Amino acid sequence: MPIDIQSLVPDQNLKHLFQIDSALKDAGFECYLVGGSVRDLVMGQTPKEFDLTTNAEPNQVKRLFRTVIDTGIDHGTVTVVLDKINYEITTYRIDKDYTDGRRPDHVEFGTTLSEDLKRRDFTMNGLAFDIKTGVLVDEHFGQKDIEQKTIRTIGDPIKRFTEDGLRPIRALRFASTLDFIIERETKNAIHQTKHITKKISLERFQDEVLKSFLGSKPSRMIQLLAEENIFQIFLTNLSNRLVPNKPILERLDTISKELTGMQLAFAFYALLGEIPSKDLETILRTLKFSGQNTKDCLLFFEFLSRWETKQNLNTTDSFLLKKDYLAPVKRHFQKRIPVDSQFIQNLSPIFGANTSEMIRIWEENPPLLLTDLLFNGNHLSESFPDLPKTNYGIILNQLLDLVLQSPKENEYSRLLRHSADLISNLIN
């Protein structure tokens, strides 16, 4: 089936692609759209980015365009910027030797499109498309594998995975995001090259995990990583076999893509169950997840653990909903992102049917934090000068509990009276 580039590519991108194509060809060079962007077009989807390849060397490309960034010039890649949109252009190359299992020791330019396509990872990514003539170059039967929803390496899978230990992880990620199967020999090679995968940087590994979270079924990525015992490559203290909790894992697919921390929480709760927060934090930091994703994950993991294992399950006790969940949400997120009813709705993978009650409470805008009280440490100091300051926190937190139970108590006169009673009880 021919690629309908006119309907699949936004007008501005299409204009830019023809502009790049013409500039290169008018200068006597070749130009093809290549890789994942062609795969997406063959699948009838609009690519998220557009990568091109040419026989022009980087310095020759740079002479043809006004704004060019040297993004990976040693490996033949420069980025052409048109109207603030980036287009990566890579010179045809042959990758030579992968002694570290991560990247080629050196590359050679001056080759052909055919040779360039041979170095690519999977048949579905080994396609090239001439946008001007509409010719699809498919020397490795990538279109057939796309039609059959199959992930297959170009050439010997063990050799390809030995070249770059990230490729097995990419295979799993593509299987998850594209809903493809991994061809048998390719899948077997994942097991046989784990010693190479172990060499990749943890940043590259966690980046593939996060990319899978953007797909429609991130649960499949976690399931595949567990089936292939990939986590144990990087986390040697884990048990030899992880069997994900299926109901928890399925809920991972319902989480808003904006809540990466919650996605991580469900993934690791499905894999490991209820574990101490310190242990989870060690895992997240070992895998090089960002500090913010780690903090968010720990919060949601605590929520999920408490909700799944304590008496709170299916409760509608407004005091507990406020104290154990809504107050921590407000404290954690209020300075970073707006927390509104939609945000609370996005917590439904944890709270299920109780989410509507949490939204109702939230929309009433009740006092949830010490900073919401109409009575503070200064008031304690003025009204009870003999009270040791070490007791301020005790009194204020007891006042907050009273207000969480009954928001109408959040008035200065009432809180002053309650303070006197609480201090009397504390002394006596």
Give the residue among 23, 53, 28 at the shortest CA–CA distance from 130.
53
- Res 240: pLDDT: 82
Kindly report the pTM of this predicted structure: 0.91
CA–CA dist 112, 360 (Å, integer): 64
CA–CA dist 255, 222 (Å, integer): 14
CA–CA dist 244, 229 (Å, integer): 12
Which pLDDT band, with edges at 50, 70 and 90, does 95 fall under?
confident
Range of the domain at 195: 149-274
Q: Are residues 119 and 166 in the same domain?
A: no
Residue 348 has pLDDT above 90, yes or no: yes
Domain end (from 214, 248, 274): 274
For the chain, what is the domain count? 4
Domain end (from 142, 166, 192): 142
Which pLDDT band, with edges at 50, 70 and 90, does 94 fall under?
confident
Give domain status of residue 304, yes or no: no
CA–CA dist 227, 240 (Å, integer): 11
Q: Are residues 180 and 269 in the same domain?
A: yes
- Res 371: pLDDT: 96
Q: What is the mean pLDDT of residues 73-87?
A: 94
Give domain status of residue 419, yes or no: yes
pLDDT digits (tens, 9 = 90+) for 144-173: 999 999 999 999 999 999 999 999 999 999
pLDDT digits (tens, 9 = 90+) for 120-137: 999 999 999 999 999 999
Give domain status of residue 259, yes or no: yes
Q: What are phi and psi of 84, to 5 degrees?
A: 65, 15
Percent of the chain surpassing pLDDT 90 = 88
Considering only CA atoms, give the Rg of the chain: 28
